[in-house]
Amino acid sequence: MKNEAVPSVTVAIPVYKRMQFLPNALRSVAAQDYPNIELLVSDNGENGPELRELVAEHYPHPFSLRRNDTTVSMSRHFNQLVETATGDFFVLLCDDDEIGPGFISCLAEVRAADPEIGVVVPHVELMNESGGPVTAEEERDLPYSRLDPDRLPPSIMTCLEFVRLWVDGRRQFLTFVTTMARTHEVTSLGGYPDMPTGDDDAVALRLALGRKVAFCKEAAFRLRAYGASEGLAMSPWELASDIKVWLEFLDSDPALRAFAVENPQEWPEIRRLMAEKAWRTYRHRWKTMYRGRLPFLEWLRAGFALPFIPEYYRWLFGYLLRQGLSNTKRMVRGRA
């Protein structure tokens, strides 16, 4: 799907072990109405020669396939894709997710229209493991809050506006794994940092600093969300460890530190909000997903797994106190 008159877009799909969802992802790329797409599929060392046949079966256009002889970390794999990409713009698409037919056209048009835009984010739609809408029962097992369709982000945001809406939690910012940015800007800012999770959030934050962020409601990104998916199956102790890494990243990353020096008034607020987003994520999962997975005492212990964050622990002690008083009242009423 080449047309040199329009900017080229690399859609990069990392594959690791599973291939059952890959045909859906491939067909969603093949259905794009954009005329200049490079499809880049990368095998992270766990799939055999049948991968090429599978891609060719479901993507009837030229494509590139790369392969790791041995498995590398997820962040390194993502960086390999960015380094291999030849497109002007870069889109990462996980092998179990999908994009709507006009996804690339919408994001590319918005991004090309304004050079001050650092990243374009799509409208996120949740789907279950089978590819259907997430039911109310399935949603209880997910760490996502129900989205309010009347509270969509504005089409253009400043960096600080974007971060505030991101932390607000009621907008369409469930994930930044699939967005669009200039390929060379992703690499020049350091690519995907080496962290267990949240590397896509780190890239989005870097791209937004000092720039505009665009939201394209016409571009549908379908996120496959289910309890056993990557990221949602982690234990609270793994999540707490990842949050510690994220907090360290906020204080040590060269791109963020350079912005902090040049923007001493704006950065403290951004940094505070990004830390708040991290502990709010943990709080939500602890109250919902982990409460249903863990025995009571183990769940209670997990509440204290985060590093010391004053705001979080003030909330936690208040929450446990309220729960204790509530349980006491119920016991008193039961005896009356």
Q: Where are the domains of the chain?
A: 9-224, 236-335
Report in angstroms the alpha-carbon separations of 266 from 114, 195, 243, 247. 23, 25, 22, 18
Write the class of the CATH domain 9-224. alpha beta
pLDDT of amino acid 171: 61
pLDDT of amino acid 257: 97
The total of other beta-carbon atoms located within 10 Å of residue 231's CB is 15
**Average pLDDT in the 194-205 region?**
93
Distance between first and last Cα of the chain? 75
pLDDT tens for residues 85-131?
999 999 999 999 999 999 999 999 999 889 999 999 999 988 888 88
pLDDT bin (cut points 50, 70, 90) of residue 335 is very low
pLDDT tens for residues 128-143?
888 888 777 776 666 5
Helix, strand and coil in the chain, % to nearest 5: 45, 15, 40
pLDDT tens for residues 38-88?
999 999 987 778 899 999 999 999 999 999 999 999 999 999 999 999 999
Query: Can you tell me the distance from the alpha carbon of 164 to that of 45, in angstroms, rounded to the nearest whole number?
Result: 39
> Identity (one letter) of the amino acid at 51?
L
Local structure of 134: helix, strand or coil? coil
In the predicted model, is pLDDT for residue 15 greater than 50? yes
> Identity (one letter) of the amino acid at 117?
I
| Token code pair at residue 97 | 């997710």
Report in angstroms the alpha-carbon separations of 191 from 61, 75, 96, 124. 28, 9, 22, 23
Dihedral pair phi/psi, residue 188, rounded to 5°: -65, -25
